[in-house]
């Protein structure tokens, strides 16, 4: 009997599942708190909770993680030198420090527009090589001719031995600066990815079995560990991709919308006929527009740990994440006595931080480059949770919201507050932590709203479900204004929204919101078994895919007196090839595209028999009846994993 092991290292929890290969059944699962900055302990504890005897029979391990996304969002990537070849600039507000723009580049035909200035490259590389961990290279129209990028990459290796990432290696779409950004971010993540993946490999090896290990990418496909280490940028959003595939797998549906409720955010995405619905423009992360093919998602800063706070007659959710009161009561022994003091702030001064249920505690992070106001406030925060009244008991003014926000963003202070998780504890629909703390908090906030605590929690739950419905509809009705969707959800009409595909919910206690969602939208809502570890199941459900684009273009003389062709050029990821006869160029393009796909799949551990190569051909014509001016081939190889095949069987 053989098994697959799925691991998802998320922001709050690291989840693991074992799936039996013969029938695709989940046989056991476990959750453990994610450990930062070193994830090893969290991975160990998560795997330790699985059946030890079945672990010995694991043949495949697949991993998904939010590590790359969090690294870019937190701006903790490693320093990189960026070399831009050609006539374009970096925006002044880019935040990129070590870069140079040099002479070189090609035009849209792949012809050199200026000679490559290797002397400038050498000078720049030697100047910064001790300050960076890798280099990124992007050349104008390298997707038509990568020669300059490859020459610079070879020189960097010769001078430093450091990794160098080329833009054309990651994307074949036009946009030289965006390819440069993609290569730059990928280079930042190389040491991070290598450390994480080696941690996974060493932990698996320590347990004495030798399975095939793979990584889930942000488009829902899986790659080998070797490939994942080279292209870590493609693991950005692999967590949401895992939730999408996990929802499809656990529900047995090849087409469905998915709402994944995490601790910090809620993600909405869709899978259609077994394939994730992808963004046309590429992933945007941390404000960077990349050329990475990723899921199209609707994401909101609303999760189970989002801060619930009141102001006037309004209940607000987030956007800040806090430790729930019920969990803080377990983490900090004296917290209950602090909570029972029941500080009641002035109603007119209420804001996100000034709340009867808001508390602050120091973290282990070391302060660096603080302002005078930040230093003063931080000096008042202790290692046990305190309310603002306790922090400023001897002063007449409370701290600036801006200063408090800054210390929280710098992770020097952790906030504690009432959350949707606390509301579910009060209603008895989730009982993981200390319900008494949640009840006290609900009573304090309910007093400001003029309601009972039970009614207050029902209102919180309805608001959370309403926001889930709004996110779902905004995703499915792309282009429709979110405010208009909100008006319809809030209105008292003799109609409501209807969703034509099933909606699968993933995340901790999502079952609690089914009735409220059904009141807002007409949809088939499904909460599958093991929905709380859906991402780990999804890590195993990915398919091996490879997409290759090749263009065949006919070039003519620029003279109006000479209409003869200059030749037929084939543009591939490996460079351009010249042909005289169009039929030969077309034959080469189709054969070479298939070869690139199959070679990649073989390196990723798939046999040719597992791979299906689909070819799409698009012609650009000038006049009817003539040969196309340009033909674009898109090759997409798909290799089904054993686990994914079980989805198809479930759906039949």
* pLDDT of 333 above 80: yes
Q: What is the pLDDT of residue 397?
A: 64
Task: List helix spans (H) across 525-567.
Answer: 534-540
Cβ-contact 469, 517 below 8 angstroms: yes
Mean pLDDT of the region 265-291: 76
From CA 504, how far away is CA 378, in angstroms rounded?
A: 43
- Token pair recorded at residue 8: 């998802």
| Paired sense of beta strands 288-289 and 525-526, if any | unpaired
Cβ-contact 190, 134 below 8 angstroms: yes
From CA 449, how far away is CA 354, in angstroms rounded?
A: 15
**In the structure, what pLDDT confidence band is assigned to residue 644 with cuts at 50, 70 and 90?**
very low
Bridge partners of 321, per DSSP, are 306
Q: What is the pLDDT of residue 649?
A: 43
Q: Among the ranges 252-256, 560-564, 604-608, which has the highest mean pLDDT value? A: 252-256
Q: What is the pLDDT of residue 648?
A: 39
Cβ-contact 257, 476 below 8 angstroms: yes
* pLDDT of 91 above 80: no
From CA 315, how far away is CA 109, in angstroms rounded?
A: 58
The closest of 315, 285, 318 to 304, measured between CA atoms, is 318
241-251 pLDDT tens trace: 888 888 888 89
Low-confidence winner among 204-208, 328-332, 357-361 (lowest mean pLDDT):
204-208
The closest of 568, 621, 627, 571 to 596, measured between CA atoms, is 571
Q: Among the ranges 145-154, 392-401, 611-620, which has the highest mean pLDDT value? A: 145-154
**In the structure, what pLDDT confidence band is assigned to residue 643 with cuts at 50, 70 and 90?**
very low
From CA 67, how far away is CA 74, in angstroms rounded?
A: 10
Mean pLDDT of the region 316-340: 89
Q: What is the pLDDT of residue 73?
A: 63
57-72 pLDDT tens trace: 888 888 888 777 767 7
Q: What is the pLDDT of residue 525?
A: 94
- Token pair recorded at residue 97: 């420090």
* pLDDT of 394 above 60: no
Choose between 640 and 125: higher pLDDT: 125
- Token pair recorded at residue 190: 């190389």
Neighbour tally for 462: CB within 10 Å: 16
196-238 pLDDT tens trace: 888 888 888 888 888 888 888 777 777 777 777 777 777 767 7
- Percentage above 90 pLDDT, the chain: 28
From CA 79, how far away is CA 72, in angstroms rounded?
A: 12
284-314 pLDDT tens trace: 666 667 777 777 877 777 888 889 999 888 8
From CA 30, how far away is CA 7, in angstroms rounded?
A: 10
Q: What is the pLDDT of residue 565?
A: 63
From CA 206, how far away is CA 196, in angstroms rounded?
A: 15
Cβ-contact 545, 606 below 8 angstroms: no
Concatenated DSSP letters for 197-221?
HHHHHHHHHHTT---EEEEE-TTSB
Low-confidence winner among 45-54, 234-243, 374-383 (lowest mean pLDDT):
234-243
Mean pLDDT of the region 103-131: 91
Percentage helix, strand, coil for the chain under 3-state DSSP, each rounded to 5 = 40, 25, 35
- Percentage above 70 pLDDT, the chain: 91
Low-confidence winner among 80-94, 101-115, 438-452, 571-585 (lowest mean pLDDT):
80-94
Domains and CATH numbers, the chain: 80-186 (3.40.50), 306-457 (no CATH), 544-648 (no CATH)
Q: What is the pLDDT of residue 143?
A: 84
Q: What is the mean pLDDT of the chain?
A: 84
pTM for the full model? 0.74
From CA 587, how far away is CA 575, in angstroms rounded?
A: 17
């Amino acid at each position: 009997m053989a098994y697959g092991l799925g691991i998802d290292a998320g922001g709050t929890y690291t989840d693991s599942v074992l799936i039996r290969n013969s029938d695709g059944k989940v046989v056991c699962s476990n959750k453990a708190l994610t450990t930062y900055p070193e994830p090893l302990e969290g991975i160990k504890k998560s795997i330790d909770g699985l059946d030890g005897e079945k672990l010995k029979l694991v043949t495949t391990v697949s991993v998904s993680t939010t590590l790359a996304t969090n690294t870019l969002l937190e701006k903790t990537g490693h320093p990189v030198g960026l070399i831009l070849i050609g006539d374009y600039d970096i925006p002044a507000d880019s935040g990129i420090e070590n870069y140079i723009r040099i002479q070189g580049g090609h035009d849209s035909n792949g012809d050199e527009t200026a000679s490559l200035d290797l002397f400038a490259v050498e000078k720049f590389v030697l100047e910064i090589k001790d300050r960076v961990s890798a280099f990124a290279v992007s050349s104008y129209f390298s997707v038509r001719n990568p020669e300059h990028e490859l020459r610079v990459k070879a020189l960097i290796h010769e001078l430093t031995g450091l990794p160098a990432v080329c833009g054309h290696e990651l994307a074949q779409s036009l946009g030289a600066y965006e390819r440069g950004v993609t290569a730059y971010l990928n280079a930042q993540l190389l040491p991070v990815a290598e450390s994480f993946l080696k941690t996974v490999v060493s932990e698996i090896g320590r347990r004495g079995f030798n399975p095939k290990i793979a990584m889930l990418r942000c488009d829902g496909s899986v790659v080998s560990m070797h490939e994942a280490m080279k292209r870590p940028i493609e693991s950005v959003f692999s967590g949401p991709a895992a939730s999408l595939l996990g929802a499809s797998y656990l529900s047995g549906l090849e087409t469905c919308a998915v709402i994944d409720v995490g601790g910090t955010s809620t993600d909405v995405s869709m899978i259609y006929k077994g394939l994730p619905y992808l963004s046309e423009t590429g992933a945007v992360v941390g404000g960077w527009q990349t050329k990475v093919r990723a899921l199209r998602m609707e994401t909101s800063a609303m999760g189970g740990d989002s801060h619930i706070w009141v102001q006037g007659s309004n209940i607000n959710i987030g956007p800040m994440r806090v430790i729930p009161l019920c969990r803080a009561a377990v983490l900090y022994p004296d917290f209950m006595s602090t909570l029972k003091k029941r500080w009641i702030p002035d109603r007119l001064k209420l804001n996100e931080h000034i709340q009867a249920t808001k508390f602050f505690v120091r973290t282990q992070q070391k302060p660096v480059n603080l302002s005078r106001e930040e230093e003063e406030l931080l000096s008042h925060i202790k290692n046990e949770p305190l309310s603002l009244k306790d922090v400023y008991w001897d002063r007449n003014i409370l701290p600036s919201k801006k200063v408090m926000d800054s210390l929280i963003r710098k992770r020097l202070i952790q906030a504690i507050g009432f959350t949707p998780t606390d509301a579910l504890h009060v209603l008895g629909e989730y009982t993981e932590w200390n319900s008494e703390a949640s009840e006290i908090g609900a009573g304090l906030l309910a007093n400001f709203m003029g309601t009972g605590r039970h009614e207050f929690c029902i209102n919180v739950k309805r608001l959370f479900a309403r926001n889930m419905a709004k996110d779902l509809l905004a995703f499915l009705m792309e282009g429709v204004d979110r405010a208009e969707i909100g008006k319809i959800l809030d209105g008292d009409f003799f109609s409501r929204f209807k969703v034509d595909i099933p909606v699968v919910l993933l995340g901790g206690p999502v079952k609690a919101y089914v009735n409220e969602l059904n009141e807002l939208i007409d949809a088939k809502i499904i909460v599958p078994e093991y929905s709380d570890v859906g991402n780990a199941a999804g890590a195993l459900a990915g398919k091996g895919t490879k997409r290759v684009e090749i263009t065949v273009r006919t070039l003519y003389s620029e003279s109006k007196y000479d209409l003869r062709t200059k030749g037929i050029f084939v543009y591939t990821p490996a460079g351009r090839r010249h042909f005289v006869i169009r039929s030969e160029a077309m034959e080469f393009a189709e054969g070479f595209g298939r070869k690139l796909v199959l070679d990649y799949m073989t390196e990723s551990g798939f046999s040719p028999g597992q791979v299906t190569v689909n070819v799409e051909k698009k012609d650009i014509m000038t006049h009817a009846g003539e040969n196309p001016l340009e033909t674009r081939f898109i090759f997409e190889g798909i290799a089904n994993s054993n686990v994914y095949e079980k989805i198809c069987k479930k759906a039949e």
